Amino acid sequence: MTGASSGIGRATAIECSKMGAQVIITARNEARLLETYNHLEGENHQMIICDLADEAAINLMVETITQIDGLVNNAGISHTTPIGFIKPADVERLFATNAFAPMLLTKALLKKKKLNNGTSIVFVSSAASINPDVANSVYSATKAAISSFSRSCAKELATKSIRSNSVHPGMVETELVQNLVFSEEELTADKARYLMKRYGKPEEVAWAIIYLLSDASAWVTGTQLVIDGGVLLK
């Protein structure tokens, strides 16, 4: 589980542990990742500090873990900028974390034979990859890229009985959203766009991820599961 130090990643790791899974969690921030680790139920979990923007760090992490049955590529960052103000550094930074990192991690795990036959891979994309918001073009592009990569994985890895799917959440009440510069009035107006009239909760996305990780979805691969409170229907 990447990006496990907060938000969807933390919720998914905790919910997986409640169901008896042995969880390997990773993120850059040691203090926040330790908070997640301390909330895990059960035993034999593993915590690894890793900057996924660094391919050497990815390869080193992969060397330290045993074979796994599930992979959640969740780590991601956001940045809002109108198209006319896009900077190359912003494009590189967002693609490095949101797209290149999960691609390279998946590749490294495959090459080192760390994915068991029957492994389920889940990529956390975004509803923005389907219907981008204004000033969110680069972020949306990174999430569209990882959604496409997920479907490629489904095709290429089917011979190993490895499944690959992506989830596409709308806005979720996480630190990523809280750090965006919006007033309460703007947030209230934005929530009104959703049929459910609210943002999602991290656990609501985590439960969908767990479904895709589990045998309950054994015949599901290459799909894009939208979890958006109905905003794409507006």
Residues belonging to the active site: 139
Any residues with CB less than 8 A from the CB of 162 and at least 6 apart, and which?
115, 117, 118, 119, 120, 121, 153
Q: 122 with 222: CB under 8 angstroms?
A: no
Report the Cα 214 to chain-centroid distance in Å: 17
73: tokens are 């590529």
Listed in order, strand segments (DSSP E) in 41-103 are 46-49, 68-73
**Could you give the CA distance from residue 19 to residue 220 in angstroms, rounded to a whole number?**
20
Counting other chains too, the contacts that 218-222 makes at CB distance below 8 Å and 24 or more residues apart are 218/163, 220/163, 220/165, 221/154, 221/158, 221/163, 221/164, 221/165, 222/150, 222/151, 222/154, 222/155, 222/164, 222/165
**Could you give the CA distance from residue 206 to residue 13 in angstroms, rounded to a whole number?**
8
